Homo-oligomer: A and B are copies of this chain.
């Protein structure tokens, strides 16, 4: 349903909603026929919600397509991720709370290691610590480029943010990260005539960064990607008529939440911290996006048991969340990250939706295979979740007379 239509149908209500996202929740058995991480996990509280609620699996982008974190979250927030695309640079800026202005060009930088011939031998410079990163960003700030203001902000580990502010800049530039080692960094090729001046400036920046970092080890060069500018999108709180808040610790998710206009709550990074944040802000918002990163991290690390354990930890805070009496709670992931694959995957993501009015199905436990036969179906479009939550929260009027 188009955002314009949803906005017309949205109505105010007192109801409260929680969207609990275990990042990369969907999994795979380590061997065909065995249990997935979620199936293996002992989750009495999630199983109860599944039994009382309706279940299914959602597909963030399209059949067979593995989503990145940005598109997957945009889909969860109701944004067609093929239509609403955003560069990594913009997400990185939003993630650290950098106040991006219209016209700014943002890019994500990696400190990397090159050999004497300028060949990239480590795209992440041995994952240098954030403190070192901070020190290097400070050094890079001596770079001056004609006609633009430069911002260089450390993010985490080896990642930093570059922002160019000036007239007539454009984010239509190719990445300089060759994506593999054994190659030289690529030039920031302009994808259009109007980005040629920006490409020239970025090339100067990279050249000077190389000179400044020459004697550093291991971080002696930079790779840039995701050149982009702040998009002009409909905002989540406006479209859905919700006072919406994000409880997330990791920059990417704070960034994408800020991009769609949610309030970003200050929070610690543990489950307990986030639960406390939820409680503290319960009265002030209608909609809470509650993000758990550790499921995805465990999956990416190929640590099946740790992913099981994180899911079980989340299960244990469910009673406390339910004690706040949300009118609607949805529990899901943004995509699958099976430990078997050590990466995001295309597999649909288990989802449960619980409300007094949900019309329960026969699914009695929360797992990939059980959810196949739930009322939400085995391939719910991810963008349909928020409208379903809205309906269950009595926040949509009928369509037509």
Contact residues of A with B, CB < 8 Å? 1-2, 5, 9, 28-29, 32-33, 36, 52, 56-57, 61-71, 81-82, 85, 87-88, 91, 226, 338, 340-341, 343-348, 356-362, 368-369, 372-381, 384-392, 396-401
Inter-subunit contact B67/A399 (CB<8 Å): yes
| Count of identical protomers in the assembly | 2
CB closest chain-B residue, reference A389: B64
Given contacts A357-B340, A379-B377, A400-B70, contact A9 B65 (CB under 8 A): yes
Most B Cβ at <10 Å: residue of A56, A65, A372, A397: A65
Q: Which residues of B contact A377 (CB under 8 A)?
A: 377-379
Interface of A: prevailing SS: loop
Complex Cα spacing A270 to B87, Å: 53
Inter-subunit contact B399/A65 (CB<8 Å): yes
Complex Cα spacing A392 to B89, Å: 30
CB closest chain-B residue, reference A387: B64
Complex Cα spacing A107 to B169, Å: 52
Q: How far is the CB of A85 from chain B (nearest CB, A)?
A: 7
Most B Cβ at <10 Å: residue of A62, A63, A377, A386: A63
Q: Which residues of B contact A5 (CB under 8 A)?
A: 82
3 pairs of A and B residues whose beta carbons are closest in the complex: A64-B387, A63-B384, A68-B400
Inter-subunit contact A67/B359 (CB<8 Å): no
